[in-house]
């Protein structure tokens, strides 16, 4: 039996979320696999991949918590981005090769802020070639590595806010609060183009995903230190699955209704009020899953979480 076989044989069901502060230089999946081994968890997934060069918040989901991945993909995100003006690269970030240079415009802070105002709200964005999106069954980055460029449809995204933190020479530092599907590398290129120059993303750090707080993140070295005391020590740092849905309205069911809900039946929700997707609990605290509350007051199960009661 190999060492990997031994690691797999000792894996156990682990439920919860870990907010990893991903380091630069590894893929999101590599980061996930490292933490999965530390936890000795059977099932794991992540939401919202970060480029290898990027750092910051990467929600890792384990066991039943993987069921929130689809909902987290819809979440807004906040980034701190350092742009290098005057140099474009083929990948849009510092890992690529310089493909174009241009003069850096002599804009003061007021000039940059006026330009950035054009990028707030709903805008059209063409995804970059170096992305995981597919065209005719092929990943765009696979085509890009062969030197190919294909047409991509523009997508509508929302920039909730964009703030200028610093502008000095060829360095521009921004904080961007945006919707899902936003490519910061492309945003930086579009801002530079509007200013009459070119640019690439020199550094990118994701500060928040949805309602998660930056202070709840744990870096990889910290996770390894905690796990030195055993996987149980690191498991104790996991957040409950319903933390990912904390901004949603909640419904609390008596035990008899909770049993019917978990068996796939719609139940009457006397509290009323909210409609749409809600968090569902048995009593005050035991999380059952995601329900759909209709205008008729009926609560239909959408995703059941089989958590220890």
- Report how far apart, in Å, the C-alpha atoms of 270 and of each of 68, 257, 274 are: 26, 11, 11
186 and 100 together in one domain: yes
**Confidence band (pLDDT; 50, 70, 90) for 271?**
low
The CATH number of whichever domain residue 270 belongs to comes to: 2.30.130.10
59 and 101 together in one domain: no
36 and 135 together in one domain: no
Q: What is the pLDDT of residue 115?
A: 97
Percentage of the chain modeled with pLDDT above 70? 95
**Measured CA angle at 174 (ends 172, 178), to 5 deg:** 145
Residue 295 lies in domain: 248-304
The more confident residue out of 151 and 3 is 151
Q: Which two tokens stand for residue 237?
A: 């740092």
Q: What is the pLDDT of residue 151?
A: 84
Residue 204 belongs to a domain: no
Distance (Å, whole) CA 58 – CA 40: 19
Residue 207 belongs to a domain: no
Residue found by looking up tokens 């990893």 in the block: 20
Q: What is the pLDDT of residue 273?
A: 63
Residue 216 belongs to a domain: yes
Residue 309 belongs to a domain: no
The CATH number of whichever domain residue 121 belongs to comes to: 3.30.2350.10
42 and 57 together in one domain: yes
Q: What is the pLDDT of residue 134?
A: 80
- Report how far apart, in Å, the C-alpha atoms of 2 and of each of 5, 7, 8, 211 are: 5, 9, 10, 41
The residues assigned a catalytic role are: 51
Distance (Å, whole) CA 154 – CA 127: 7
| Residue 242 zone, left/alpha/beta (φ > 0; ψ -120 to 50; rest) | alpha
Distance (Å, whole) CA 181 – CA 77: 10
Number of folded domains in the chain? 3
141 and 157 together in one domain: yes
228 and 136 together in one domain: no
Pairing of strands 250-253, 276-282: parallel
- Comparing 69-73, 277-281, 288-292, which segment has the lowest mean pLDDT? 69-73
Q: Which two tokens stand for residue 182?
A: 């936003």
> What mean pLDDT, rounded, does the chain reach?
91
Residue 205 belongs to a domain: no
Nearest to 60 by CA among 32, 23, 81: 32
User: Any residues with CB less than 8 A from the CB of 302 and at least 6 apart, and which?
Assistant: 277, 289, 290, 291, 292
282 and 257 together in one domain: yes
Answer positive or negative: Cα dihedral of 63, 65, 70, 76. Answer: negative
pTM over 0.85: yes
């Amino acid at each position: 039996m190999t060492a990997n076989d031994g690691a797999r044989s000792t894996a156990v069901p682990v439920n919860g979320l870990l907010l990893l502060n991903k380091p630069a230089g590894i893929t999101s999946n590599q980061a996930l696999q490292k933490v999965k081994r530390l936890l000795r968890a059977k099932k794991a997934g992540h939401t919202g991949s970060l480029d290898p060069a990027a750092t910051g918040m990467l929600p890792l989901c384990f066991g039943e918590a993987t069921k929130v991945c689809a909902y987290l993909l819809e979440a807004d995100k906040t980034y701190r981005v350092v742009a290098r003006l005057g140099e474009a690269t083929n990948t849009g970030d510092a890992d690529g090769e310089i493909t174009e240079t241009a003069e850096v415009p002599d804009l003061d802070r007021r000039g940059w802020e006026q330009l950035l105002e054009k990028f707030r709200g709903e805008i059209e964005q063409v995804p970059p070639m170096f992305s995981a999106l597919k065209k005719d069954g092929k990943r765009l980055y696979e085509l890009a590595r062969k030197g190919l460029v294909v047409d991509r449809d523009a997508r509508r995204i929302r920039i909730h806010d964009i703030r200028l933190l610093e502008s000095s020479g060829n360095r521009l530092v921004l904080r961007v609060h945006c919707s899902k599907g936003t490519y910061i590398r492309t945003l930086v290129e579009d801002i530079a183009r509007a200013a009459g120059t070119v640019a690439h993303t020199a550094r990118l750090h994701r500060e928040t995903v949805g309602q998660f707080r930056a202070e709840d993140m744990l870096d990889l070295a910290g996770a390894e230190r905690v796990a030195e005391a055993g996987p149980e020590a690191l498991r104790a740092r996991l957040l409950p699955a319903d933390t990912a849905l904390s901004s949603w309205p909640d419904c609390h069911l008596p035990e008899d209704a909770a049993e019917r809900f978990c068996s796939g039946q719609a139940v009457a929700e006397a509290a009323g009020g909210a409609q749409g997707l809600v968090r569902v609990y048995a009593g005050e605290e035991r999380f059952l899953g995601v329900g759909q509350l209709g205008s008729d007051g009926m609560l239909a199960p959408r995703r059941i979480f089989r958590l220890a009661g």
